[in-house]
Chains A and B, each alone.
Chain A
Amino acid sequence: MPRLPLGDWVDTSVDWLQAQFSWLFDAVSSGVTGLYDGIDAVLSAPQPLLFAGILAVVAWWLRGLAAGVLAFAGFALVDSVQLWDEAMATLSLVLVATLVTLVIAVPLGIWAARSKTVSAVLQPVLDFMQTMPAMVYLIPGIIFFGVGVVPGIIATIVFALPPGVRMTELGIRQVDGELVEAAEAFGTTPRNTLLRVQLPLALPTIMAGVNQVIMLGLSMVVIAGMVGGGGLGGAVYRAIGNVDIGLGFEAGVSIVVLAMYLDRMTGALGRQVSPLGRRAAAKARAALSAKRPGAKLWAHRPQPVTALVGVVVLALVAGGTGFLGGSGTGSTTASGTGGGQGKKISIGYIPWDEGIASTYLWKELLERRGYEVDTKQLEAGALYTGLAGGQLDFQTDSWLPVTHAQYWEKYKNKLEDLGSWYGPTSLELSVPSYVKGVDSLADLKGKAGQFKGRIVGIEPSAGMMGILKDKVLKEYGLEGEYEVVDGSTPGMLAELKRAYERKEPVVVTLWSPHWAYSAHDLKKLADPKGSWGKGDGVHTLARKGFAAENPEVGAWLKDFELTEKQLTDLEAVIQETGKGKEQEAVRTWLDGNPGLAEKLAPQ
């Protein structure tokens, strides 16, 4: 069977599309970004609790008092775990994606309902869209639309579109044929048949589709977080990367609150907007109040006018305080001095400790020098793609020449290596220090029983896994005795943590620097034969041309260097200060190291 170069064709066509239609992608990107920014600005303007109040009044109106109270409690919880801004960013992302999806899906569904050909053609396309793993088209998404919220929104739209189209088509097709015939028999135009008979009767099904679209959109926010979408998805993604169970849970619960709110509200809205739904609801209410008069209070719903007045009043108050609050916080950013003159610089980072530390260090330094800095948290592939595409200016966490070799190979013509700032790093197998008698790779021989014959590995695609399987095990004669378990970095870390807490023997693949060494008391197994090879350096990479355009920053980055002590100190301060306060931690750390800022970024 000859190898079909399907992947190459896709590669070529993606390049071709990017070259030919960059104007279109740019237009889509700026349109979607504009919509997102607008909605996000509105949603995050009011005081969190006031906005929670508005959402609660809406819930009260749509579902009753109990729903209103619960909604308020839910959003207050989100605010109290300090994920409000992230939640609003996620809400905006979901709303934009839903809006765009419906604008596309409903007309497509109507078209498909009226034409068998369209329906037949759409069917496989929709299947393809729905089942293709999102990560597969996320990276091309970055090539087309750049990192940030747009590829996340586009991926969400692609994923959420099929149920929207299908439910619309189904809803219209479900309308009793005799009713449509009756409309026609009385001389109704096709347009009015659609508007007066088919759509009103299909509305409950269409609203179920809207509900599906929103829920699928919410399920995509984590993936959007991997390409710089930020929001709760970003928080979850970071929590996974750092095995931060607490943050993961908080962000997860916040997503659940949003999901439940949106689910219940769209469900109720569906009943509210469709004439049949209103009838059914009125009937149910009458039956309920007849049966259990006591249930009335919790099921009480205000008149639409009352609800509207409530929302407007809260919104006005929110608008007022938001305006005042906004003018109060506006002054803090432009405090920097020096040659930056407000020039914008965008830094991307993978949520690894050294990446976070160095990125926020440079954010702080550059802002002190008068630059306007924007940071984006990304997954490694997305980070390199974004950098090569020029949407990011630089990143400080490139492990070269070994670990990130494949990214460097792919994009090296579009990138510029500003040199290593930390090194050498090392790859190793590690065991907890309570495992006695195992200090070197050679000591593992014959102890497979103790470790259940397993070496807990990370992603099978990672460079070090290849070295481990092909070289290290062979040279120390461990082949056959140990099985290398493929998995993921978070999985490996979770397993390490579990074993560590039970004081069980475990051997894991690890590398330095890594926070696991400060979190747990671990032992790096010596490599007397040098099988792992020489370590990587942590490099700073910039997009091509960045250093030439910004000679000052370019020079600083080329000279950038941290010692192991400096880096671990900084990471520790960041850990202590807590999530979301990275920059604050950097300031504290810089205050404790007088003169360092001057040294790193001399005026």
Chain B
Amino acid sequence: MSRLQADHLFKVFGRRPDEAVRRLAVGDTDREELRAEGTTAAVVDAGFTVEPGQIFVVMGLSGSGKSTLLRMLNGLLEPTAGRVLFDGRDLTALSPRDLRTVRSTKISMVFQHFALFPHRNVLENAAYGLEVQGVPRAERETRATEALELCGLAGWEKSWPDELSGGMQQRVGLARALATDADLLLMDESFSALDPLIRRDMQDQLLVLQQRLKKTIVFITHDLNEAMRLGDRIAVMRDGRIVQLGTAEDILVRPADDYVASFIQDVDRSRVLTASAVMTGGATPADCPDGCACRPVGPDTLVADLCAVAARAPHPVTVRDSDGSVLGVVPTERLLAVMGGLGARDAGDQADAKTDAKTGPKTGQADTEAGSKADTKAGSATGSMAATQPKKELTARA
């Protein structure tokens, strides 16, 4: 069973929302027409599922409805139509009281501007969710301290939020969300307010924590690079609708429309695409001249790393599975085409057709790929982090 399922969610602000939903559902009207009537359709027919342990990223520009969508997932906003199923329970049908119980125990949230209570110190902030649950003081302080340690804030318990840097404040926000031991973590542009280096640091730390804690995370961002770094699956939103839903590679290789395509131009594809996405499947490995410096690579090798290998090999690089069987080869010109974004779509399509034939339906593979990708990236990004986990754990997840 999915941890979280959104089922035809609509959120319409303004007058006569139900009628607007009806008209939107049958395609009788569009967002602009409604806006002219003074009605705002923030989210239109959004549907997706999130599996336990996944990081599901919702990517969109401001005004695309992503924050509204997130707030419907924990009932802060009531959907105009549609259902939110959490562990099979329909949140939209719960009484306010039951909904509060779910929010205090099962779903926690991390905010864009941290939303720390300025009149509480770091420990009291981290313990807030437990306090709401009614956990006795001694226990909640122990658990909050643990959560703070987990986020690298041991020793800062007695400090006040305004004494901390932005990154540290957001760690407190994260600790507050983790302290309740909720299964679902909603993160609303949680790293957007941080400067780029700190942001990257926090992304890495989130990935590391995720390997240990295996939360289910819904992460909102307007930054496609961040989405691709973090997301096992990504939903791209535009004007209240989800325009594409898939893995980072899906979006990069097969953008659903020109809108998505215009986004991916800025993405560093060498750190998203893997060997399996760019290789020519079924080709025979080239003969190695004597003393050739080449070595075969795995299918999950990032294109960035693949380049380093190809630079030293006078022939196409061989892609081998973990058991040694040959999956395909990557000619250097193909690498260059992908990197330059030149004919990326065509290249992608070819590769895709071949990959599909070989490895079966893409979707079934998505989690494994994304999981290992996250792993590799976390490891490669910062050597300081003890990121590299045994491969077993990752495959178990998928």
Contact = CB atoms under 8 A, between A and B. Distances in A.
Contacts of B133: 187
Nearest to A185: B109
Contacts of B176: 186
Interface in B105-141: 105, 107-109, 111-113, 115, 117-120, 128-129, 132-133
A39 interface: no
Interface stretch (B95-103, B255-263, B278-286): B95-103
Q: Which 4 A-B pairs have the closest CB atoms?
A: A187-B104, A275-B119, A187-B103, A182-B115
A192 B76 CA distance: 16
Central interface residue in B107, B115, B176, by most chain A CB within 10 Å: B115
A197 B117 contact: yes
Contacts of A182: 109, 111, 115, 117
A197 B186 CA distance: 21
15 contacts: A178-B112, A178-B113, A185-B74, A185-B108, A185-B109, A185-B186, A186-B108, A186-B132, A187-B102, A187-B103, A188-B132, A201-B117, A274-B119, A279-B119, A279-B160
Interface in A144-202: 176, 178-179, 181-182, 184-189, 192, 197, 200-201
B190 to A, nearest CB: 12
A179 B76 contact: no
B104 A176 contact: no
B180 interface: yes
Interface string B163-189: 000000000000010001000001000
B76 A187 contact: no
Nearest to A280: B162
B253 to A, nearest CB: 36
Contacts of A178: 111-113, 115
Contact of A186 (B113, B119, B129, B162): B129
A276 B120 CA distance: 9
Q: What is the size category of the interface that chain B forms with chain A?
A: 20 to 34
Most buried by A among B107, B108, B132: B132
A186 B113 CA distance: 16
A201 B118 CA distance: 8
Contacts of B162: 279
Interface in A183-233: 184-189, 192, 197, 200-201
Contacts of A275: 119-120
A275 B162 CA distance: 13
Contact of A276 (B100, B112, B119): B119
B162 to A, nearest CB: 8
Interface residues of A, number: 19
A189 B129 CA distance: 12
Interface of A is mostly: helix
A276 B115 contact: no
Interface string A257-288: 00000000000000000111001000000000
B117 A187 contact: no
A181 B76 CA distance: 8
Nearest to B100: A187
Given A185-B76, A185-B103, A201-B119, 7 more contacts: A185-B74, A185-B108, A187-B102, A192-B132, A200-B119, A201-B117, A275-B120
A188 B100 contact: yes
B103 A186 contact: yes
A280 to B, nearest CB: 10
A181 B111 contact: yes
Interface of B: 74, 76, 100-105, 107-109, 111-113, 115, 117-120, 128-129, 132-133, 160, 162, 176, 180, 186
Nearest to A184: B76
Given A178-B112, A181-B111, A186 B117 contact: no
B125 to A, nearest CB: 10
B132 A181 contact: no
B115 A186 contact: no
A201 B132 CA distance: 18
A279 B108 CA distance: 28
A205 to B, nearest CB: 14
Nearest to A181: B76
A179 B161 CA distance: 13
A187 B107 CA distance: 9
A186 B76 CA distance: 10
Contacts of A201: 117-119
A188 B109 CA distance: 13
A188 B180 CA distance: 13
B28 to A, nearest CB: 32
Contacts of A188: 100, 104, 132
A441 to B, nearest CB: 75
A174 to B, nearest CB: 13
A201 B117 CA distance: 9
B115 A176 contact: yes
Contacts of B100: 187-189
A367 B118 CA distance: 64
Contacts of B180: 186
A187 B101 contact: yes
A189 B134 CA distance: 12
B91 to A, nearest CB: 13
A181 B115 contact: yes
A274 B118 CA distance: 11
Contacts of B118: 201, 276
Contacts of A279: 119, 160, 162
A279 B118 CA distance: 10
Contacts of A274: 119
A184 B74 CA distance: 10
Contacts of A176: 113, 115
B104 A186 contact: yes
A443 to B, nearest CB: 78
Interface string A340-369: 000000000000000000000000000000
A270 B344 CA distance: 64
Contacts of A197: 117
A278 to B, nearest CB: 9
A197 B116 CA distance: 11
A486 B107 CA distance: 74
Interface in A276-324: 276, 279
Contacts of A179: 115, 117
Contacts of A187: 100-105, 129, 132-133
A200 B119 CA distance: 8
Nearest to B128: A186
Contacts of A181: 76, 111, 115
Nearest to B112: A178
B11 to A, nearest CB: 16
Contacts of B186: 185
Contacts of B103: 184-187
A432 to B, nearest CB: 68
Nearest to B103: A187
A398 to B, nearest CB: 61
Contacts of B117: 179, 182, 197, 201
A206 to B, nearest CB: 14
A192 B115 CA distance: 17
A511 to B, nearest CB: 65
Interface string A525-550: 00000000000000000000000000
A274 B180 CA distance: 28
A177 to B, nearest CB: 9
A200 B124 CA distance: 15
A202 B101 CA distance: 27
B337 to A, nearest CB: 45
A128 to B, nearest CB: 32
Contacts of B104: 186-188
A179 B119 CA distance: 11
A200 B133 CA distance: 20
Contacts of B113: 176, 178
A176 B118 CA distance: 11
Nearest to A179: B115
- Which of B104, B105, B186 has the most CB atoms of chain A within a 10 A radius of its CB? B104
Select the residue from B102, B103, B180, B186 with max chain A CB neighbours within 10 A: B103
A176 B133 CA distance: 23
